[in-house]
Amino acid sequence: MSTSETAFRLAARLDRVGFSDIVTIRNRVMEIRSRGKQVYQFEGGEPFTNTPEHIKEAMMRALAEDRTRYAPSSGIPELRSSIAEKVRERNSIPASEQDVIVMSGGMQCLFAAFQSVVNPEDEVLVFSPYWTPIKDLVAHCRATLVLVPTETARRDGFVETLSRYVTERTRAIYYNTPQNPTGVVFTGKEAEAVAQFARSRDLIVIADEAYEDIIFDGEHVSIASIEGMFERTITCYTLSKSYSMTGWRMGYAVAPEPWMTGLKKMTLYSTNGVSTPGQWAALAALSTPGDFFEKLRSEYLRRRDLLLSGLNELGLKCESPAGAFYAFPDVTSVSTDSRAAAEILLERAQVATVPGIVFGEHGEGHLRFSFSTSIEAIEAGLDSLRRNL
Ligand SMILES: Cc1ncc(COP(=O)(O)O)c(C=O)c1O
């Protein structure tokens, strides 16, 4: 082998880390647009509203007052203390300020959490279908993803189902509720069962609560609030979905030691903290009055119900998502291959969606539609499907 073949090679830890399929879909959308056609976009994952004014104003105030210098890399004390209060009150997680770290969005929280917990050769249990980047975060630890079908767990029981997939090598469970892409919201009983299993097998839980504020049916239960779970859970939050702040890259993780030391090291040597003025804006976000979410939920609910009834009328059978802003209908009547089904919808009706297979083998036969868009866009997309499918 020549020197350059060995030298010009990425570090092996990146071998199994992939890129998102969503990029491929975005490119297809742009290509169809360049042919002068309108595309009805349901493939996204962003809130349909803009960042609220009071949050933007707090950022501008911080800039005007020159609060622009290095902050402690775990976050400004005012924000950490406000987050600790929020998770105690709203999530019933018994955290104090030192159990909180501010990070660049939910993604950095999850990256740091997996890096802090998972060793090479370990196995991680992931309820499936699952949010795609998790497979890459696990791969970056050089560990193995073990998919646990959510549907089976809900039908046969969580302890029974998890027992079928656990091995000597299992280290952690990734627990996402409300779920992307299915909109499943795990019940308190289900959380208890997962917690019982984690405690009995001495597993660590990486909880992803990115959509905690977008729930229509049931209630949000943070697994770290359950007896004996705080010490074995890293809970990851983001301001992206709750406050329409996707581009701000603002999130936080909650965990006691030894996990917090891991999260701090990961932050220190990657971003060395989050933008200081952005943190002052995050502080303003956390003090948003509670009725903000009630209004937001009713807006999402109108969109969910409109999309759901349209899809079901079209014969794309769809269970009602209890949370998040995605519908995940069965599209086997179009094609059993979800990539082919997505292509058919895009070519015939200019409707862009995400193929279910992207979310793991248990997502095959489905497409993910986001209903986080305008009522008019949902109506227009459904109309195009009625006319062209
Ligand atoms: C399930 C889930 N977790 C975490 C995130 C991370 O969001 P962000 O990095 O924008 O904070 C997302 C974003 O789509 C998500 O869907």
pLDDT (tens digit per residue) in 326-385: 999 999 999 999 999 999 999 999 999 999 999 999 999 999 999 999 999 999 999 999
Q: Which amino acid is at 305?
A: D
pLDDT at position 25 is: 84
| Ligand 1 atom closest to Cα of residue 110 | 4
SS3 149: strand
Which of the pair, 4 or 86, is modelled with greater confidence? 86
- Torsion (CA) 316, 321, 324, 326 in degrees, nearest 10: 0
pLDDT digit string, tens, across residues 13-71: 999 999 877 778 888 888 888 888 899 999 999 999 999 999 999 999 999 999 999 99
φ/ψ region of 124 (left if φ > 0, alpha if ψ in -120 to 50, else beta) reads beta
Distance set, CA 176 to CA 12, 81, 85, 110 (Å): 29, 25, 22, 11
By the 8 A CB rule, do 180 and 138 touch?
Answer: no
pLDDT at position 84 is: 98
pLDDT digit string, tens, across residues 136-166: 999 999 999 999 999 999 999 999 999 999 9
Task: Return the bridge partners of 207, or none.
Answer: 175, 235
Phi, psi of 311, deg, nearest 5: -65, -45
pLDDT digit string, tens, across residues 160-195: 999 999 999 999 999 999 999 999 999 999 999 999
Q: Give the pTM.
A: 0.96
Mean pLDDT of 73-98: 98
Q: Is 180 in the pocket of ligand 1 (CB under 6 A)?
A: yes
Q: Is 152 exposed, middle or buried (0-12, 13-18, 19+ CB in 10 A)?
A: middle
- Torsion (CA) 37, 41, 46, 47 in degrees, nearest 10: 110
Q: Ligand 1 pocket test: pick from 208, 220, 274, 325 the residue with the most ligand atoms within 8 Å of its Cβ.
A: 208
Q: Is 212 in the pocket of ligand 1 (CB under 6 A)?
A: no
